A and B are shown apart, each in its own frame.
Chain A
């Protein structure tokens, strides 16, 4: 039984002549609460299915940090009906590929398949959402895989380490305090029972949704969805995340000592949740400061003064209040203190001087191009729609997207800079290189 059907067209009339760029998004819902978003496009013989579970490291707690991600790995272990080798054969042996990712707010699985293989993909996803067969043995070997992933991404990399330090320190109460990879000792100790409890609650149809994009027939896709998901029962919804990060009352400055060639900084300002209208002017601020070689900070620190090897930054959009991050690394011999001072000066300038009309228009043009380029493939479209559903609570926000970019004013940018980008709400991680001597060739680079 279908509860509702809505077909909406995404029209980017401000970018292309009306009607020229449009793709429909059809929404359907099963009785068990599973939402299905259908985005047909027959231009290439491929179809993407993404299953979005509304759970990520945001839904974890101390002791089981990293369980969403560890469990994501366990989802590839197979079921009675589709043991691991059979599952893999049905995907890869049909010319498909699959993978998954775990973030703060979601865990997402996908298959990209030749267009006539959508039914198989839906069958596989429905089956593993409830019938996974996991045991202590496969948990134990996968735990080692995840430990190796953690070593690779974070422990053996200065920037991975700084990124983790930023969230560990910027948040004191909200679960964004830890990264989706989790703390090492939690990865070491998460039990099979904890995995199974997590699975039952968070992988229910009413806590997930499908996005299907590409060369398929919506009616037959819905027949498959009903056939495989229809009998699965809804569960009690998972406990809501009620923790609100308390207001930060002062700048946090943290030194991070690690062997590295060059000093660097990673900082973050507290910004609101993805559904806040202030996200758009914050994004514009990010463009003005960091996007392209003509941006204020790139041009000043990397190009003109040649103090930084790179600078970057942007608003990170999440379901709950997150961070506007900024990062830079010094070239040999440059002072990190100067770089930070100038970075913060440029951020402060946004609070007192309106950005020029040309800068505003440039930022809008950049965001418009990013948006269109983010809709190239079926996978891109499904990801864009799914992320908007997670980050803003409503995928239909894609429709007003281009207009909301255009609506931002220079005053908006000044207002959000004043409201959010204050020193009191800033956390600064300083990478202090563990090797005291400057590398031998530093003389050639100032």
Chain B
């Protein structure tokens, strides 16, 4: 039995919206009989369609000692179904100039398929086939294993990959966000066909997924077609994610990844942040903007513009389902490593000392009030925002109310969240550099552990 409910969420018919006003294309939502929620975003500007299936089974769901299984399972989807082998899947999607791919992040697997409207049939057939009928062939598993391990080895040449890996391990430890999404050489070596099949069977169910279709579509037709393409997909009980407690960050610890050929030092330091659902989301966002986002932040002014020490410095709140990190990221000449870190720490600490100035407060509020509606220009951008709403369980009014909520934040709120959530005395630091040149300086921060890149 199919419940066929079309719920118009928001339809704004103005042809000229006032600036600062969110202007969304028609968005409708339906829940299929098997529990799959489908959201259709209608935009007829170009004859294209983008479909995304989101499955709540990201790397946080990797079983113990199977780091990377979610990502590996996602990559396996394209490698063969009951009726198409990997080459046939590639040939069919390439022939119509479309794209088809799956990838994992911490919280979810996302399977995307884009094509011109005239090739929608081909795209939908392939998307449903790889989601519903993957065979996880053992030859393909070996092929993907070799490819994945080669990629992990190659990533050791990339200082930023080393930095992210080192920082997350140091901060999250055994927490589900601690391991790399792609896994490690050791964990990927150990995957069996059974591991993949079990993971798939556990999480790939319509009640653990939702789909967003954006572009040149008619919603009722799309619901009909998606419904028939995914009709056989069965509901099931989904195991709850087991989450370890976050390890406390006490004092300052430094992981120095020794890359003796490095001619530049990559730096990331920070501690835990807040979840996406935390009511302090809006003040944190403004605090972070003033501190370290874009070309007008305090950190950019101090470390890049005045100091000439970097090309890029920023702070980031990771917005995930579970608490992510709050961190500062930059790179600098090896010999300015400590000046850059110390300058950044001073600026970050400064956020807790006094309320932000009137001008920077007003500019930050005005920035988001003007900028946010502009980030909803293309169907893909609207789809990304809808995915966030669904994935993090935000109210549907979130998009329309964003600007209003930003404008409610006061200077006192910004100071309060800085004082509540920033703690420069209790932070972890990951530094990728030629250890010989920077180790002594880093010891002034706290205990330093040195690893070479083969240990990463």
Are A89 and B333 interface neighbours, CB within 8 A?
A: no
Q: Is A16 in the interface zone, CB < 8 Å from B?
A: yes
For B262, give its contact among A142, A156, A295 (CB under 8 Å). A156
B46 within 8 A of A: yes
Contacts of A46 in B (CB 8 A): 373-374, 377
Q: Please state if A444 and B363 are interface contacts (CB–CB under 8 Å).
A: no
A:93-151 near B, CB below 8 Å: 93-99, 112-117, 140-149, 151
Q: Is the CB of A44 within 8 A of B376?
A: yes
Task: From B117, B296, B308, give the contact of A143 (CB < 8 A).
Answer: B308
Majority DSSP secondary structure for residues of A touching B: mixed
CB proximity of A38 to chain B, nearest CB, Å:
17
Q: Are B311 and A152 in contact (CB under 8 A)?
A: yes
**If A94-B366, A366-B94, A369-B98 touch, does A329 touch B154 (CB 8 Å cutoff)?**
yes
Residue of B nearest to A90 (CB): B363
Residues 376-430 of B at the A interface (beta carbon under 8 Å):
376-381
With a cutoff of 8 Å between Cβ atoms, the chain A residues found around residue B260 in the complex are: 259
Contact A21 B20 (CB under 8 A): no
The total number of A-B Cβ pairs within 8 Å is 228
Residues of chain B within 8 A of A145, CB atoms compared: 304, 308, 310-311
CB pair B374 A95 closer than 8 Å: yes
Smallest beta-carbon distance B184→chain A, Å: 10
- Is A261's CB under 8 angstroms from B370's CB? no
Evaluate whether A376 and B90 lie within 8 angstroms (CB atoms) in the complex, with A140-B308, A262-B150 already known.
Answer: no
Q: Is A15 an interface residue when CB atoms closer than 8 A count as contact?
A: yes
Q: How far is the CB of B388 from chain A (nearest CB, A)?
A: 19
Chain B residues with CB under 8 A of A375? 46
- B345 CB, min distance to chain A CBs, angstroms: 19
At the interface, yes or no: B158 with Cβ under 8 Å from chain A? yes
> Taking the nearest CB of chain B, how far is it from the CB of A85, in angstroms?
8
Proximity string of chain B (306-325) to chain A, C-beta cutoff 8 Å, 1 when within and 0 when not: 11111110000000000000
A358 x B95 contact (CB < 8 A): yes
How far apart are the CA atoms of A43 and B87 in the complex, in Å?
40
Q: Does A157 contact B (CB under 8 A)?
A: yes
The docked-state distance in angstroms from the alpha carbon of A141 to that of B305 is 7
| Contact of A331 with B150 at beta-carbon distance under 8 Å, contacts A92-B296, A112-B374, A375-B46 already known | yes
- Could you say which residues of chain B place their CB within 8 Å of the CB of A260? 157
- Least distance between B251 CB and chain A CB atoms (Å): 30
Chain A stretch 56-108: residues in CB contact (< 8 A) with chain B: 76, 88-89, 92-99
The reply on A223 being an interface residue by CB < 8 A is: no
Of all chain B residues, the one with the shortest Cβ separation from A158 is B157
Q: How far is the CA of A15 from the CA of B48 in the complex (A)?
A: 10
- On chain B, the residues within 8 Å of A309 by CB distance are 147, 150-151, 154
Specify which chain B residues have a CB less than 8 angstroms from the CB of A261 in the assembled complex.
153-154, 156-157
Smallest CB separation, A439 vs chain B (Å): 5
A365 at the binding interface (Cβ < 8 Å): yes
Which residues from chain A contact B374 at a C-beta distance below 8 Å?
Answer: 44-46, 95, 112-114
Which residue of chain B has its CB nearest to the CB of A437? Answer: B454
- Whole-angstrom distance between the Cβ of B117 and the nearest chain A Cβ: 8
Q: Specify the chain A residue showing the minimal Cβ separation from B21.
A: A45
* B33 CB-CB contact with A under 8 Å: no
| B-side interface size class | 35 or more
Contact between A372 and B47, CB atoms less than 8 A apart: yes
Question: How many of A's residues come within 8 Å of B, CB to CB?
Answer: 86
Are A96 and B370 in touch, CB under 8 angstroms?
yes
Question: Beta-carbon contacts of B25-57 to A below 8 Å, as 1s and 0s?
Answer: 000000000000000000101111000000000
> Given A145-B304, A358-B95 in contact, is the A95-B46 Cβ separation under 8 Å?
no
Please tell me if B23 contacts chain A, counting CB pairs below 8 Å. Answer: yes
Least CB distance from A12 to B in Å reads 8
Instruction: Name the CB-closest residue of A to B95.
Output: A362
Q: Does A267 contact B (CB under 8 A)?
A: no
B158–A157 CB distance below 8 A:
yes
Q: Which residues of B contact A12 (CB under 8 A)?
A: 47
Quick one: given A44-B376, A46-B374, are A92 and B367 in contact (CB under 8 Å)? yes
Binds B, one of A230-238, A299-307, A406-414: A299-307
Contact A439 B115 (CB under 8 A): no
Q: Does A189 contact B (CB under 8 A)?
A: no
A140 to B333, CA, bound (A): 15
Task: Mark A285-320 against chain B: 1 for CB-CB distance below 8 A, else 0.
Answer: 000000111110001001100100100000000000
Q: B139-179 toward A: CB 8 Å interface, digit per residue (1/0)?
A: 00001011101110110111100000000000000000000
Contact A378 B147 (CB under 8 A): no
A152 partner, pick from B20, B156, B331, B373, beta carbons under 8 A: B331
A19 to B105, CA, bound (A): 41
- B439 within 8 Å of A by Cβ? no
Give the distance to chain A from B210, nearest Cβ to Cβ, in Å: 23
Task: Please classify the interface of chain B as helix (H, G, I), strand (E, B), loop, or mixed, using the class held by over half of its residues.
Answer: helix
Kindly provide the distance from the CB of B292 to the nearest chain A CB, expressed in whole angstroms. Answer: 14
CB of A303, distance to nearest CB on chain B (Å): 7
In the complex the two chains form, what is the Cα distance from A362 to B264 in whole Å? 43
CA of A97 to CA of B18, assembled, Å: 19
Query: Which of B263, B304, B370, B380 interacts with A156 by CB under 8 Å?
Result: B263
A147–B335 Cα distance when bound, in Å, is 13
A20 interfacial contact with B, CB 8 Å: yes
Closest to A214 in B: B377
- Residues of A contacting B93 with CB < 8 Å? 292
Tell me whether B87 and A368 are in contact (CB under 8 A): no
Determine whether B280 belongs to the interface, using a CB cutoff of 8 Å to chain A.
Answer: no
**In the complex, are the beta carbons of A144 and B264 less than 8 A apart?**
no
Residues of B within 8 A of A377 (CB): 377-378, 381
Which residue of B97, B186, B308 is within 8 Å of A142 (Cβ)? Answer: B308
B368 at the A/B interface (Cβ < 8 Å)? yes
Which A residues touch B368, using CB under 8 A? 95
Tell whether B371 is near chain A: CB-to-CB under 8 Å: yes
Q: A215 on the interface (CB 8 Å rule)?
A: yes
- Provide the bound-state CA to CA distance between A358 and B264, in Å: 48
With A and B bound together, what is the CA distance between A234 and B16 in angstroms? 37
Tell me the smallest distance from the CB of A276 to a CB of chain B, in Å.
Answer: 24
Q: Is B294 located at the chain interface by the 8 A CB criterion? A: yes
B48 contact set on A, CB distance < 8 A = 369, 372-373, 376
Tell me whether A45 and B366 are in contact (CB under 8 A): no
A193 CB–B CB distance under 8 Å: no
Q: How far is the CA of A156 from the CA of B15 in the complex (A)?
A: 49
Taking CB atoms and an 8 Å cut-off, the chain A residues in 395-445 that contact chain B are 434, 439-442, 444-445
Q: Chain A residues with Cβ under 8 A from B118's Cβ?
A: 15
Given contacts A15-B47, A332-B150, A376-B378, whether A149 and B311 have CB atoms under 8 Å apart is yes
B436 at the interface (CB under 8 A from A): no
Contacts of A117 in B (CB 8 A): 19, 370
User: Which residue from B96, B116, B185 sits with its C-beta under 8 Å from A15?
Assistant: B116
CB of B359 within 8 Å of the partner chain: yes
- B94, B296, B370, B381: the one within 8 Å of A294 (CB): B94
**Sample of 5 further A-B pairs with CB below 8 A, known A262-B150, A376-B46:** A43-B45, A45-B21, A92-B296, A96-B370, A113-B374
**Shortest 5 CB-CB contacts between residues of A and residues of B:** A95-B370, A144-B308, A369-B97, A292-B94, A365-B97
Q: List 5 A-B contacts (CB under 8 A).
A: A93-B367, A95-B369, A144-B308, A303-B90, A377-B377
A residues with CB within 8 A of B: 12, 15-16, 20-21, 41-46, 76, 88-89, 92-99, 112-117, 140-149, 151-152, 155-158, 215, 258-262, 291-295, 299, 302-303, 306, 309, 329, 331-332, 358, 361-362, 365-370, 372-373, 375-378, 434, 439-442, 444-446
